[in-house]
């Protein structure tokens, strides 16, 4: 099981941020942690959960003192077991990082640190309303590494201000840091962010060519893309928590606005700070259909370089069947069957960054063992005819693939 914990407090709110976060709420820290501990007890107690990953996001989690996290981890360990290899990630702001906080969090069990760097280029940082400098980044990341965090991710961002030279300079500098993982996002101005309501903000779509350029450049430096926005030096430092989301695994969410899904029920906590503190165990429940889950898993799974693997089993057998399907996908990593949508069923082949659509005779569940060079593909004893056109030729079009399925149901 995965566990997400939301810490909604920030020293200041960036203009592009549409997440649930609050500034100047220090007086609520203690009552929030008390409510969060009640929430954790309610969601974990008596369930015999074994946690494979914990992700503490925000907001700005390192705005809280380590004593707050001691209470959180004590509560988690009181009601759930942690796998020996449990990944425990925590997000952080550059300027609020300090060595003692890092040492304390490592002692509590945190073993992965995600730092919101965004850029080293001063005009980009000013545009993004970040108050750190390139010098701050080098100093703080090095100190976090020396304090014991050897698995570090840096979040970087591509904006309308970027050029090839600016982007390459950013990437060159971030790879000079002791990091094992890089997340690279194209800026989007979403509804609910302050930028969305301002007319004087520099707008315009981020040049898609920059994203492809960054991908090729990073891969030449030994950072392999394993998801649309995520790169790593090796498979051992992929973000296990996010991989769980993309593979359709169940997850728990605690904290204001936190979302979880168990079986076919998606649950969301109160987003309002005062309401959450008053009723931390209350949830808005959304009941999902089999098709809802299939489409969601498809759209998330196709963002990964390994592709998506969707095994259609009765939902009463969801936990066991889906786990078997994930394991099959991990060993094969290229197939997807969507037999509910079309007869004969459709299958996707993701190969060398391209997505081919296959039509298969005989609706048997099974692995797709296929090679791109063949016109006819053998799928566990079945013959699949490859349709002559590509649905997409880049990983970045994963969402469009899912929408194509919806239109052709």
CATH, residue 64: 3.20.20.70
pLDDT at 8 over 70: yes
pLDDT at 293 over 60: yes
Higher per-residue pLDDT: 4 or 385? 4
pLDDT at 371 over 50: no
Question: Does residue 11 sit within a domain?
Answer: yes
Residue range of the domain that includes 309: 290-407
User: Given 213, 246, 279, which residue is the final one in a domain?
Assistant: 246
- 143, 242: one domain: yes
Instruction: Give me the pLDDT at residue 316, please.
Output: 38
Q: What is the DSSP letter of 237?
A: G
Question: Does residue 39 sit within a domain?
Answer: yes
Instruction: Give me the pLDDT at residue 123, please.
Output: 95
The length of the chain, given as a count of residues: 409
- 237, 299: one domain: no
At 146, the pLDDT band (50, 70, 90 cuts) reads: very high
Q: Whole-model pTM? A: 0.79
Higher per-residue pLDDT: 280 or 321? 280
Give the count of domains, the chain. Answer: 2
pLDDT at 1 over 50: yes
Instruction: Give me the pLDDT at residue 68, please.
Output: 98
**Range with lowest mean pLDDT among 56-65, 73-82, 136-145, 361-370:** 361-370
Question: Does residue 274 sit within a domain?
Answer: no
Please tell me which of 208-212, 306-310, 331-335, 352-356 the model is most confident about, judged by mean pLDDT.
208-212
User: Given 221, 246, 271, which residue is the final one in a domain?
Assistant: 246
- 24, 134: one domain: yes
Question: Does residue 264 sit within a domain?
Answer: no
Cis-peptide, bond into residue 133, ω within 30° of zero: no
- 80, 186: one domain: yes
- 157, 62: one domain: yes
Instruction: Give me the pLDDT at residue 174, please.
Output: 98
Q: Is the dihedral of CA 371, 374, 378, 383 positive or negative?
A: positive
Contact assessment for residue 265 and residue 285, using Cβ atoms and an 8 Å cutoff: yes
Q: What angle do CA 187, 192, 195 make, to 5 degrees?
A: 50
Phi then psi for residue 185, to 5 deg, are -115, 145
Question: Does residue 269 sit within a domain?
Answer: no
- 229, 300: one domain: no
**Range with lowest mean pLDDT among 152-161, 204-213, 323-332:** 323-332
- 156, 294: one domain: no
- 364, 231: one domain: no
- 205, 319: one domain: no
Question: Does residue 224 sit within a domain?
Answer: yes
- 230, 373: one domain: no
Mean pLDDT (the chain) is 79
Question: Does residue 116 sit within a domain?
Answer: yes
pLDDT at 198 over 90: no
For the purposes of burial, counting CB atoms within 10 Å of the CB of 116, is it exposed (0-12), middle (13-18) or buried (19 or more)? buried
Question: Does residue 279 sit within a domain?
Answer: no
- 301, 236: one domain: no
Instruction: Give me the pLDDT at residue 133, please.
Output: 96
- 208, 327: one domain: no
């Amino acid at each position: 099981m995965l566990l997400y914990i939301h810490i909604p407090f920030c020293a200041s709110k960036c203009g592009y941020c549409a997440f649930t976060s609050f500034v100047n709420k220090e007086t609520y820290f203690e009552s929030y942690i008390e409510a969060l501990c009640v929430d954790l007890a309610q969601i974990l107690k008596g369930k015999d959960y074994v946690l494979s990953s914990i992700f503490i996001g925000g907001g700005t989690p390192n705005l809280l003192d380590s004593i707050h996290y001691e209470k959180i981890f004590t509560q988690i360990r009181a009601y759930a077991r942690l796998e020996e290899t449990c990944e425990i990630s925590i997000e952080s702001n550059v300027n609020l990082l300090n060595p003692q906080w890092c040492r304390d969090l490592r002692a509590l069990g945190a073993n992965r640190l995600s730092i919101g760097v965004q850029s080293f280029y001063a005009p980009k940082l000013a545009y993004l309303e970040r108050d750190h400098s390139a010098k701050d980044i080098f100093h703080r990341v090095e100190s976090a590494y020396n304090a014991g965090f050897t698995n570090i991710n840096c979040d970087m961002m591509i904006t309308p201000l970027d050029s090839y030279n600016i982007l390459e300079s950013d990437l060159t500098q971030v790879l000079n840091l002791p990091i094992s993982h890089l997340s690279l996002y194209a800026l989007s101005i979403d509804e609910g962010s302050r930028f969305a309501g301002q007319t004087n903000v520099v707008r315009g779509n981020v040049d898609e060519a920059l994203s492809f350029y960054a991908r090729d450049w990073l891969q030449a430096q030994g950072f392999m893309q394993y998801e649309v926005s995520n790169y790593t030096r090796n498979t051992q430092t992929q973000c296990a928590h996010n991989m769980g989301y993309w593979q359709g695994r169940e997850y728990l969410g605690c904290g204001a606005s936190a979302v979880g899904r168990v079986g076919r029920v998606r649950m969301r906590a109160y987003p309002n700070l005062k309401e959450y503190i008053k009723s931390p165990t209350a949830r808005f429940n959304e009941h999902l259909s089999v098709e809802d889950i299939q489409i969601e898993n498809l759209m998330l799974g196709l963002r990964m370089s390994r592709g998506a693997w969707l095994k259609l089993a009765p939902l009463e057998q969801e936990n066991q069947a889906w786990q078997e399907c994930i394991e099959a996908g991990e060993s094969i990593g290229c197939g997807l069957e969507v037999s509910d949508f079309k007869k004969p069923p459709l299958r996707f082949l993701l190969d060398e960054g391209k997505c081919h659509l296959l039509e298969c005779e005989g609706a048997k569940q099974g692995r797709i063992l296929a090679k791109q060079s063949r016109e006819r593909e053998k799928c566990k004893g079945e013959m699949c005819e490859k349709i002559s056109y590509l649905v997409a030729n880049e990983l970045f079009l994963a969402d469009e693939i899912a929408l194509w399925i919806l239109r052709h149901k």
